[in-house]
Structure 1
Amino acid sequence: MSFRMPPEWAPHERTWMAWPGPNPTFSNEEELAEARAAWASVARAVRRFEPVTMVHGPGQGESARELLGPDVDLVERELDDAWMRDIGPTFVTDGHELAAVDWTFNGWGAQGWARWEHDAKIGSYVADLAGATTYASKLVNEGGAIHVDGEGTVLLTETVQLGPERNPGWTKAEVEAEIHAHLGTHKAIWLPRGLSGDYPPYGFGTLGHVDIVAAFARPGVVVAHHQPDPAHPDHEITKEVIGLLKAQTDARGRRLEVVEVPAPTVLEADGHWADYSYINHYLCNGGVVLCAFDDPRDEIAAGIFRRLFPGRTVTLVDARTIFAGGGGIHCITQQQPKI
Structure 2
Amino acid sequence: MAWRMPHESDAHERTWMAFPRTGITLGEGAEWQETAYRAWTDTALAIAEFEPVTMLVDPSQTARAHDMLGTSVEIVETPLDEYWMRDFGPTFVVDDERPGTLGAVDWIFNGWGSPEWAEWQVSAGVARIVAERVGAELISSVLVNEGGGIHVDGEGTVLLTETVQLDPHRNPYADKARVEAEMERTIGAHKAVWLPRGLTRDYDEFGTKGHVDIVAAFAAPGRVLLHRQDDPGHPDHEVTRDLKTLLQAQTDAAGRPLEVIDVPAPATLRDDEGFVDWSYLNHLVVNDGVVVCGFGEEEADARARDILEEAYPGRRAVTVDARPIFARGGGIHCITQQQPVVRKGA
TM range (shorter): over 0.9
Q: Tell me which moved more, 25-34 or 117-126.
A: 25-34
Q: Which one-letter code corresponds to 1:2 in the other structure? A: A
Residue 210 of structure 2 corresponds to: 208
Q: Offset at 1:305?
A: 0.8
Counterpart Cα distance in 2 of 1:107 and 1:301: 30
CA contact (8 A) 1:100 1:134 kept: yes
Q: Offset at 1:27?
A: 2.0
Counterpart Cα distance in 1 of 2:107 and 2:32: 29
- Map 1:293-308 onto structure 2 (within 5 A): 293-295=295-297, 296-308=299-311
Q: Is 1:289 matched up with 2:291?
A: yes
Counterpart Cα distance in 1 of 2:244 and 2:79: 40
Q: Which one-letter code corresponds to 2:338 in the other structure? A: Q
Q: Tell me which moved more, 27-36 or 99-108.
A: 27-36
Which residue, 199, 221, 224 being the options, matches 1:222?
224
Which residue, 242, 245, 260 being the options, matches 1:243?
245
Counterpart Cα distance in 2 of 1:56 and 1:26: 14
Q: Offset at 1:169?
A: 1.3
Q: Which one-letter code corresponds to 1:4 in the other structure? A: R
Q: Which one-letter code corresponds to 2:275 in the other structure? A: W
Which residue, 158, 165, 189 being the options, matches 2:162?
158
Q: Which one-letter code corresponds to 1:86 in the other structure? A: D
Q: Offset at 1:129?
A: 1.2
Residue 131 of structure 1 corresponds to: 135
Which residue, 92, 98, 104 being the options, matches 2:102?
98
Q: Is 1:116 matched up with 2:120?
A: yes
Q: Is 1:319 matched up with 2:318?
A: no
Q: Is 1:266 matched up with 2:274?
A: no
Residue 19 of structure 1 corresponds to: 19
CA contact (8 A) 1:270 1:324 kept: no
Structure 1 gap ranges (5+): none
Q: Offset at 1:200?
A: 2.3
Structure 2 gap ranges (5+): none
Q: Is 1:334 matched up with 2:345?
A: no
Q: Deviations 1:263-302 (Å, cap 9, x if unpaired)?
A: 1100002321100000000001001000010113111111
Q: Which one-letter code corresponds to 2:311 in the other structure? A: L
Q: Is 1:81 matched up with 2:82?
A: yes
Residue 6 of structure 1 corresponds to: 6
Identity %: 56
Counterpart Cα distance in 1 of 2:65 and 2:117: 24
Q: Offset at 1:325?
A: 0.7
Q: Deviations 1:25-67 (Å, cap 9, x if unpaired)?
A: 1122222211010000000000001100000001321100111
Q: Offset at 1:144?
A: 0.2
**Local SS of the residue matching 1:108:** coil
**Local SS of the residue matching 1:307:** helix
Which residue, 148, 151, 162 being the options, matches 2:152?
148
Residue 309 of structure 1 corresponds to: 312
Q: Deviations 1:199-231 (Å, cap 9, x if unpaired)?
A: 124xx2111000001000011101000000010
> TM-score with structure 2 length normalisation?
0.96
Counterpart Cα distance in 2 of 1:239 and 1:73: 42
CA contact (8 A) 2:21 2:60 kept: no
Q: Offset at 1:14?
A: 0.4
Residue 72 of structure 1 corresponds to: 73
Q: CA RMSD in A?
A: 0.9
Q: Offset at 1:3?
A: 1.2
**Local SS of the residue matching 2:154:** coil
Q: Tell me which moved more, 192-201 or 316-325.
A: 192-201
Counterpart Cα distance in 1 of 2:303 and 2:76: 37
**Local SS of the residue matching 1:314:** strand
CA contact (8 A) 1:264 1:297 kept: yes
Q: Which one-letter code corresponds to 2:115 in the other structure? A: Q
Q: Which one-letter code corresponds to 1:167 in the other structure? A: N
Counterpart Cα distance in 1 of 2:339 and 2:265: 29
Q: Is 1:32 matched up with 2:33?
A: yes
Counterpart Cα distance in 2 of 1:12 and 1:277: 24
**Local SS of the residue matching 2:59:** coil
Counterpart Cα distance in 1 of 2:53 and 2:282: 19
Q: Offset at 1:189?
A: 0.1
Q: Offset at 1:336?
A: 0.4
**Local SS of the residue matching 2:3:** coil
Q: Tell me which moved more, 250-259 or 23-32.
A: 23-32
Q: Which one-letter code corresponds to 1:125 in the other structure? A: I
> TM-score with structure 1 length normalisation?
0.98
